[in-house]
Structure 1
């Protein structure tokens, strides 16, 4: 299906506008992480690393139809094809890393330091898995089929003559990872719902996790605190001054603290470790629906997609960095405002206690 110059121009404009928004979103993430200590949790760090991958992805989508117009064998087309093979896949892998971090926090009780030790492994594995196929494809040529990266109307990527490679090394692994992430979040959601219902922890965005996530562990904690402090209630054991999944230190022997927690119980921010990664996953999923439908349509009908479908692919496929930036700032600022309010309340209580 051929498209008029006006249609191609409209596709190019839409893709480039989306790319500019994504570049701004990536720089917003990098700037916020660099300038504010508030954005330093393990999940924030993963989003920060991914922002650099999103930048290269946005540069490739910014090239838009200029890649195909330069010719399949041109350096511009080959660079665009390489980038659009590597960096969207890396984005999906980083989303999987966020889901894995959340799973490890909820089910295996990893703390901040344990999660940070995984970051080098994430960097190495994600870069290797996404880079090798994209790099190797640069050097494969067919006498009849030409180079792997070629004209795909809206940009250069794996051409239709090499469709089987596109399926094996792009769509199949991407959707396999998406399914795995869905399963992880399904299990996480069940566990968090069970724990919140069991311990009635609905007063804020934190949840108390124990070494076994069992009722007996929390019951032991509550009974121990009750013996130390007759006025103790389960709700009073929930501290409100932490956003990280760190262990609480026991109080000194000469001081009774109603906020005491045994080493088996700690508090985890639902906003940072569940809500934000889940929103990133949904945003990532939205960017993959239109390209997948387009590829299925091409595979079935053996022709390029309609103008409206290609316009959707160009627009949505270029917005990865933008949605990541919006979620990063929106969720992060809500947490910052909540903690700022808690600090003001704590300071006010201290001043009242001294006034007595």
Structure 2
């Protein structure tokens, strides 16, 4: 096949991938807007959903640039404003996308390892915007201004589209591959720290096991540890039975699991481009077509892969018995009660105080909560440890407990 035929094939691959990313990105944006309209406050939309929204916005910037392909090059207009605009959009959007992946990893680390609340992360998100938009703006604009007046513009003919021209090819490493590889290594380190903690906690929970206590009106999930139930002005509960249930992770750890999946998509996108860049550096005159095809396939595919993670985790959150059960991103104004052990006596009538003594270590020690009495027709009620000693979030609609915490703390921030 001729070089023109190969270039046409590569151009087709990039446009197909960009089309899939466009569809996926639009789906994420519409779903996030829908949740935002139903939420009680801006911070009631999950941290991961807010970050993926801005990440998706960054991905949308490169879609028109990818669709242009080699149009300006084939027309002999490499010195045109169109070619410069295309190169700038690609440079800005890809580095911004990598930095939003870094912000996702940072939020996961702060929540799981540093024990920040979701609302505290929301307060700091303004700095996420400064970094994820400001740094790419500088990397894409400053070199172009430096090259002004040169006999060859900074953004010119590259192989697949207008990008950093050959004369300024050193900046491909300085302003593109270098920052992206640094972001990826940073994410690896953070997710290692997060994963180590999540795995340790999960092993403790798995060793302990869980029990689902089913009543006439609903169910309550509690660890299989020594416990006592003392009624507070409540009638006797209906007969119930205990059913073994697979262990479920705490909200913080499910959050880490979900955000970790975005790192996988980030790796897929840039690993092919990295492999092709290394191959080109070793043998610049002998490009490997399969590596070029993989780069053209995966590099514009970030939006689609993010959408795959976004919607698959929503499905897993609704799947019974899974680790992500109860971590849905949606909220339909859940009736949430956050009770401290010292305040159980003030709970409303028809409630029961649950005291649990754990032998599995400090994570579940002194676990206490208040549970709603089961009314006829009421949905399932689950007790989820919110990782603060003597405190629990009770979510009676099967929705996300991490969103419940954000709803409470976030509303306080906006008062």
TM-score greater than 0.5 by the shorter chain: yes
Aligned match for 2:102, one of 92, 96, 102: 96
SS at 2:201's partner residue? Answer: helix
Q: Give 1:350's match in structure 2, choosing from 375, 388, 406.
A: 375
By percentage of residues, which structure has more helix? 1
For residues 58-96 of structure 1, give each alpha carbon's deviation from its aligned partner in whole angstroms, at most 9, with x where no partner exists: 222121222422432122211111111111111111111
For residues 172-187 of structure 1, the aligned pairs below 5 Å read 172-187=178-193
State the alpha-carbon separation in 1 of the partners of residues 193 and 296 from structure 2: 34
Equivalent position of 1:282 in the other structure = 264
Question: 2:242 — aligned with what?
Answer: none
Task: After TM superposition, give the deviation of residue 293 of structure 1 in Å.
Answer: 2.1
Unaligned runs of 5+ in 1: 205-231, 239-252, 256-265
Of Structure 1 and Structure 2, the greater strand share is in 2
Q: Residue 157 of structure 1: which of 146, 156, 163 is its match?
A: 163
In 2: Cα distance, 1:352 partner to 1:316 partner: 49
Give the CA deviation at 1:140.
Answer: 3.7
TM-aligned CA distance change 1:310 to 1:196, over 3 Å: closer
Q: Distance in 1 between matches of 2:103 and 2:70?
A: 32
Listed one character per residue, the Cα deviations across residues 9-30 of structure 1 (whole Å, up to 9, x for unaligned) are 1111111111111011110100
Following the alignment from structure 2 to structure 1, what is the Cα–Cα distance between the partners of residues 20 and 148? 37
Q: Give the distance between the partners of 1:145 and 1:276, measured in 2 at CA.
A: 48
Q: Is this contact kept in 2: 1:141–1:148, CA < 8 A?
A: yes
1:292 matched to 2:292: no
1:1-356 equivalences under 5 Å are 4-36=3-35, 37=38, 40-70=45-75, 71-141=77-147, 146-200=152-206, 234-235=223-224, 267-271=250-254, 273-303=255-285, 305-336=287-318, 338-339=325-326, 350-351=375-376
For the residue of structure 2 that corresponds to 1:147, the secondary structure is coil
* CA-based RMSD: 3.5
Q: Which runs of 5+ in 2 are unaligned?
A: 211-220, 235-248, 320-324, 329-333, 335-370, 379-415
Change over 3 Å in CA distance of 1:199–1:55 after alignment to 2:
same
- Cα distance in 1 for residues equivalent to 2:16 and 2:28: 19
Conserved 8 A contact 1:137-1:149 = no
Distance 1:61 1:74 in 2: 17
Structure 1 Cα separation of the partners of residues 61 and 173 of structure 2: 22
SS at match of 2:251: strand
Aligned length: 299
TM-score between the two structures when normalised by the length of structure 1: 0.74
Report how far residue 5 of structure 1 moved: 2.1
| CA distance, structure 1, for counterparts of residue 85 and residue 313 of structure 2 | 35
SS at match of 1:311: helix
Q: Cα gap change, 1:348/1:314 in structure 2, threshold over 3 Å: closer, same or farther?
A: farther
